[in-house]
């Protein structure tokens, strides 16, 4: 089995950066609700957190302890399991319906103790409390971070108020609007301009306004109402709108335009193309008069908006009564459980959407109230820190053994990498550690026939999360074989193979030719976490999403970064606007570009048909 030397061989060197403010006065320990009569929870003034510099994790004693521990660690999952029959039980946690086995990770009790000490040392419990309280922890945008409020049950005490806004009341008012509209569409009471009910909903959005709803719609396909289909339009590539609308009936199509500012260039461009498609198709059928009044009436019956910019919505032609709002304390990648999820609410119905929200809330409460050492999102986030900062991992695989979750890794890419792909801390100073990792993955067993070779026998350490459910949405029996059981046998086998590998002696015992013995040795000690649930229900999906939200938050707190802004996506968008005239023939703008960009634009212009 690979020891510390072999493990170090697949690490990338980390520089021991130190420095920056080191605030040592923090609240630590268990985060619990306030005792006594409930009082409204009011966010602290923003200065309370903005002026508090992040605590440099490298200055916390546990950091040095973890470095020393990592250098001395001799990973030996075979030996650890043999020596400790209770290892699996001790390192298996439950949160809601989620059953998570962490025992095949490269950790000992010492690792867990040091990681939780690190979390306490940087003030993770206080940051958790600050987020739920509504403090403005999104410092660069001066905003609270309250996606957790989107799933608070009606009437939950204590009440939550932000700048004299009754958050609970506002959230549930919007939910009631969503549910009423969803019922109108589902029952056929909402009709298009020619009087026909809706058969297809097209969600137009990008980033969090697309990835979340699209992933959840695929995951919950068994819960989608008969007679309703949802499609998703996001890419500004004209092929996307052409292919999305190619076989649609304009009389029975409803578009949802999801853009908080109603100014996102991709979304608004696609919305305008969809509007033109609607007008053209209805006109071709003789069902739309060639005047603005008729066109506006068609838009009002076939477009609704998820936005806060009512003036822009009205200018587009959408009735502002059919606009569903959300708040600046909801980040796009955390918004699937807001009005951004309207297409999902229509597809699966208000009752199932409420269950979806309840799943989120279950994990919120687990995260908020459970001690760090048994807190599943905290421990999984700390494990990621362990692998990135102490064992040199650069990527993290998410491998759902559920075809319904085939879009889950892509969803997590935005959630994790847009949140924690930062090189500055929340006070604007450089980070003192490596941050973030590349999240990627595919459903099993497809991945087994694509990239598992690298995970099993490659030179890179790639922690992996395996996800499965016990009861399939579509059970299938092939003769005497339960196909789902065959599927899950692969799930169990892969984590076992990655953990325990196969020795040269075991290979030789099979009669293998000595010349190929080395090629058939599996080193093992490749870390995995196994997450299981009874069934992929709306509630379980909400729990899974929320689990990773709080894993991401935990990592961000350790690294001292603001996990809720995304300035890194802005420069490219700004430059695209500046470069567009050159693409369309403006020689003066073209001359201002660098040589490479000029050459590429010229190639495009010469070859564009």
Question: Catalytic amino acids?
Answer: 418, 449, 573
DSSP secondary structure letters along 504-566 = HHHHHHTT--GGGTGGG-B-----EEEEEEEE--HHHHHHHHHHHHHHHHHHHHHHT--TT--
Of 79, 96, 81, 23, the C-alpha closest to 547 is: 96
Whether 12 contacts 392, CB under 8 Å: yes
The terminus-to-terminus CA distance of the chain in angstroms comes to 59
Q: What is the DSSP letter of 141?
A: T
Given a contact cutoff of 8 angstroms between Cβ atoms, the answer to whether 151 and 364 are in contact is: yes
Q: How far apart are CA 509 and CA 154, in angstroms?
A: 63
Cα distance between residue 354 and residue 337, in whole Å: 9
Of 360, 353, 328, which Cα lies nearest the Cα of 175? 353
Contacts 24+ apart (CB under 8 A), 134-137: 134/41, 134/42, 134/43, 134/160, 134/161, 134/162, 134/167, 134/329, 135/43, 135/44, 135/46, 135/48, 135/49, 136/43, 136/46, 136/49, 136/50, 137/49, 137/426, 137/562, 137/564
Considering just the CA atoms, what is the radius of gyration of the chain in Å?
Answer: 26
């Amino acid at each position: 089995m690979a020891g510390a030397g072999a493990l170090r061989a697949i690490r990338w060197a980390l520089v021991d950066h130190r420095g920056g403010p080191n605030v040592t006065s923090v609240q630590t320990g268990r985060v619990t609700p306030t005792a006594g009569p409930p009082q409204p929870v009011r966010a602290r003034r923003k200065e309370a957190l903005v002026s508090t510099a992040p605590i440099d994790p490298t200055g916390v004693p546990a950091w040095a302890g973890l470095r020393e521990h990592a250098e001395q660690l001799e990973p030996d999952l075979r030996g650890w399991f043999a020596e400790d029959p209770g290892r699996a039980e001790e390192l298996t946690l439950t949160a809601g319906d989620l059953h998570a086995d962490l025992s095949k990770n490269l950790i000992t009790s010492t690792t867990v103790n040091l990681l939780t000490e690190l979390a306490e040392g940087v003030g993770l419990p206080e940051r958790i409390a600050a987020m739920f309280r509504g403090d403005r922890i999104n410092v660069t945008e001066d905003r609270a971070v309250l996606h957790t409020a989107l799933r608070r049950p009606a009437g939950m005490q204590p009440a939550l108020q932000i700048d004299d806004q009754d958050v609970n009341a506002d959230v549930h008012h919007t939910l009631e609007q969503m549910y009423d509209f969803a019922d109108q569409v589902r029952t056929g009471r909402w009709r298009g301009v020619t009087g026909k009910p809706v058969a297809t909903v097209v969600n137009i959005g990008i980033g969090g306004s697309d990835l979340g709803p699209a992933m959840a719609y695929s995951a919950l396909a068994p819960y989608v109402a008969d007679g309703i289909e949802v499609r998703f339009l996001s890419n500004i590539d004209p092929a996307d709108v052409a292919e999305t609308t190619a076989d649609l009936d304009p009389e029975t199509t409803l578009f949802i335009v999801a853009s908080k500012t109603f100014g996102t260039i991709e979304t608004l461009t696609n919305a305008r193309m969809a509007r033109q498609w609607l007008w053209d198709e209805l006109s071709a059928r003789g069902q739309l008069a060639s005047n603005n009044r008729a066109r506006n009436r068609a838009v009002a019956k076939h477009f609704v908006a998820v936005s806060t910019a009512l003036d822009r919505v009205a200018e587009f032609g959408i009735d502002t009564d059919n606009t569903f709002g959300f708040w600046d304390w909801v980040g796009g990648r955390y918004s699937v459980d807001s009005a951004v999820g309207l297409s999902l609410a229509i597809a699966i119905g208000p009752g199932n959407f409420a269950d979806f929200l309840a799943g989120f809330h279950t994990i919120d409460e687990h995260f908020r109230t459970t001690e760090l050492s048994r807190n599943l999102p905290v421990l999984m986030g700390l494990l990621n820190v362990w692998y990135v900062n102490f064992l040199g991992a650069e990527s993290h695989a998410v491998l759902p053994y559920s075809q319904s979750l085939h879009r889950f890794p892509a969803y997590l890419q935005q959630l994790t990498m847009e949140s924690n792909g930062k090189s500055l801390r929340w006070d604007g100073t450089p980070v003192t550690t490596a941050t973030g990792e590349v999240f990627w993955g595919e459903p099993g067993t497809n991945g087994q026939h694509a990239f598992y070779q690298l995970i099993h026998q490659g030179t890179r350490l790639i922690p992996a999360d395996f996800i499965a459910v016990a009861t399939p949405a579509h059970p299938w029996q092939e003769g005497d074989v339960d196909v789902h059981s065959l599927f899950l046998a692969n799930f169990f086998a892969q984590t076992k193979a990655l953990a325990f590998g196969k020795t040269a002696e075991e290979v030789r015992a099979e009669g293998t030719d000595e010349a190929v013995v080395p090629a058939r040795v599996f080193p093992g000690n490749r870390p995995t976490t196994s997450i299981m649930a009874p069934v992929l229900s709306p509630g379980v999906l909400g729990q899974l999403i929320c689990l990773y939200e709080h894993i991401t938050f935990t990592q961000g707190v350790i690294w001292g970064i603001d996990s809720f802004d995304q300035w890194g996506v802005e420069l490219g968008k700004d430059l695209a606007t500046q470069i567009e005239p050159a693409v369309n023939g403006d020689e003066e703008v073209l001359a201002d570009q660098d040589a490479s960009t000029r050459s590429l634009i010229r190639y495009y212009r010469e070859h564009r048909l």
